[in-house]
Amino acid sequence: MKTCNGNTSIMDMFEKGKVLKICAPMVRYSKLAFRSLVRKYDCDICFTPMIVASDFMRSVKARDSEFTTNEHDRPLIVQFAAHDAQTLADAACVVAPFSDGVDLNCGCPQRWAMSAGFGACLINKPELVKDMVRHVRNQVDNPNYTASIKIRIHKDLRQTVDLCQKAESAGVSWITVHGRTSEERHQPVHYDAIKTIKDSISVPVIANGDIKYLRDVESTYKLTGVDGRFMTLQWTAVALFLYVEMGILVILCLPFISARRWQSIFQLRIWSSVAQLWNKVFLTMIIILIVLFLDAVREVRKYSAKEVGTDTKLQPNMFDHLHMKLFRAQRNLYISGFAVFLWLVMKRVVTLINQLASVSSTTAALQAQADSANQTAKKYMEDNELLKQTLMEGKGDKATAEGMELLRKDVERLKEELKTSGDALKKSQSEADVMKKQTDGLAREYDRLLKEHQELQVTLSLKHSRIMTCWVINSETKRTTNNCKILQKGEVFTQQQTRESHHNAHMLYLHITPCVTMHITKPGLAPLRWQ
């Protein structure tokens, strides 16, 4: 609904009498992308996050970063935190062409906001709130442009009623009431106080606080009679997950699907890829469900009868609402706890099905073996009975008796022959052992002689390895000499020694081995060395 410079306003939505669903302002979340998302799910009005008006007016960078919108982002309410009437009015004029109204935050309980003069501290300054609303009304030209406030309640509800009445006299379009004091955080919302405020003024009142389900919207409307409610969602996913678990367990427990059939299904290729992530998914879901279970426990304690009974200012209809809240918290506790239980049961059932299928396969194999053994034993028993029957029928028959006697004698004879053959076999084996020992002794003696022979050959070859050098007298003198020199390995025979010993020699014989001779025919001999 586009209302800037138009003839309609958001106030017409209140006059239609329908239940309005409004997305509450949330720091860092209620920006354009988030608002575009919730509008697709039937959100009637959206708020921007709280913007500090003084910073917004002082810095262009702050305006560009804190406030973004588009033509589809309507109806849109811009929420400001301010403690100066003129600053708030100037900020409203800047955003007026791009929005449908401004909202003054008088309910933020954070310390930084209250220390700066913003937020919940303004509920103790009704005149300042009245003045800021009046300045916005007077400075924005568009009569359909709304100016609203969001507040918390006082411990003395009369002060809250007085604040709302003064804001109404200044021209406030509507008032959003968070049903807790500035000191309360998670205590039950005082819906009776919201109803009292609604009954005390004529402008629309929007209830805020602990509205998590669509059914909470209806119950809050019945308790307070307000015109709109801020709402969030929770637990739907847990309930859906619980229903899925129940369906899977029912399918796994169907009697006409055997464990072996389930095992064959689990062994399909698609399950082999899923099985790799199964443990991670299982642990992740366990953690998520346990966190939700603990949150449900916190809700139960929050709305317990003991805590509710400490506040004596609650009206009688408030007890009904809180009992309803307690009932829902207990239901959430049961849902989350049962979801955890079924998740563990489902994993155990799958494991037991696989084990049962394996046991069934083993049992079937053992049963087949047992049946085969029973059939064989039965056959042998039948043969035994038949043999007994034959023997019983043969009693008194002389021919049969004689045949049996002959068979008995043959058996005795065969036993004696078998015994004789056994004795002969033992004797032959003993003789073979003796011959084997003798053979081993001969083999050792042969090895010893062979070794001695090899040693003698080595000694003989060493004796012939010496080198002999012999000189022969010139053929003209016709004399011989027996002089010889034995050269050892590495010894040198020089030319001088050759001349001094045998002047007329012309041939040198070097005996390396008995079959190798080296000839040197000239008297001038070069030095010789063992090669």
- CATH value at residue 202: 3.20.20.70
Q: Kindly report which listed range (228-232, 323-327, 429-433) carries the lowest average pLDDT score.
A: 228-232
Q: Is residue 268 very low, low, confident or very high in pLDDT (cuts 50, 70, 90)?
A: low
Task: List % helix, strand, coil for the chain (3-state, nearest 5).
Answer: 60, 10, 30
Same domain, 81 and 183: yes
Same domain, 159 and 267: no
Which of 370, 397, 424 is the C-terminal boundary of a domain?
370
- Pick the more confident residue, 308 or 25: 25
CA 467 to chain centre: 90
3-state helix/strand/coil string of 389-402: HHHHHCCCCHHHHH
Which of 370, 393, 415 is the C-terminal boundary of a domain?
370
Q: Which two tokens stand for residue 261?
A: 């059939």
Same domain, 313 and 339: yes
Q: Per-residue pLDDT averaged across 53-63, rounded?
A: 91
Same domain, 162 and 267: no
Please, what is the angle between helix 85-95 and helix 126-139, to 10°? 40
Average pLDDT score over the chain? 76
Residue 65 within a domain: yes
Label residue 142 exposed, middle or buried (CB < 10 Å: 0-12, 13-18, 19+). middle
Residue 102 within a domain: yes
Same domain, 330 and 241: yes
Burial call 194-220: b when 16+ CB within 10 Å, e when fewer: bbbbbebbebbbbbbbbbbeeebbebb
Same domain, 207 and 63: yes
- Pick the more confident residue, 492 or 84: 84
Which of 302, 337, 370 is the C-terminal boundary of a domain?
370
Domain of residue 483: give its range. 467-520
Q: Count the domains in the chain.
A: 3
Residue 431 within a domain: no
Are 217 and 231 in contact by the 8 Å Cβ rule? The answer is yes
Find the distance separating the first CA and the last CA of the chain, reported in whole Å. 121
Q: Which residue intervals of 225-315 are DSSP H helices?
A: 236-252, 259-266, 269-302, 305-308
Same domain, 203 and 140: yes
pLDDT score of 464: 57
Same domain, 19 and 156: yes
Q: Is residue 150 very low, low, confident or very high in pLDDT (cuts 50, 70, 90)?
A: very high
Q: Is residue 323 very low, low, confident or very high in pLDDT (cuts 50, 70, 90)?
A: low
CA 141 to chain centre: 60
- Pick the more confident residue, 482 or 303: 303
Q: Per-residue pLDDT averaged across 292-303, rounded?
A: 81
Q: Is residue 504 very low, low, confident or very high in pLDDT (cuts 50, 70, 90)?
A: very low
Q: Per-residue pLDDT averaged across 365-394, rounded?
A: 78
pLDDT score of 272: 63
- Cα gap 513→106, rounded to integer Å: 128
Q: Per-residue pLDDT averaged across 302-308, rounded?
A: 57
To the query of whether residue 253 is one of the catalytic residues in this protein, the response is no
User: Catalytic pick from 23, 46, 106, 108?
Assistant: 108
Whole-structure pTM over 0.85, yes or no? no
Residue 434 within a domain: no
Residue 527 within a domain: no
Same domain, 63 and 158: yes
pLDDT score of 96: 95
Quickly count: other Cβ atoms within 10 Å of residue 250's Cβ. 9
Residue 500 within a domain: yes
Residue 337 within a domain: yes
Give one DSSP letter per residue of 493-510, joined into a string: B-HHHHHHH-TT---EEE
Tokens 């801020």, residue?
A: 230
Are 123 and 154 in contact by the 8 Å Cβ rule? The answer is yes
Same domain, 248 and 105: no
- Pick the more confident residue, 208 or 267: 208
Quick check: 75 pLDDT over 50?
yes
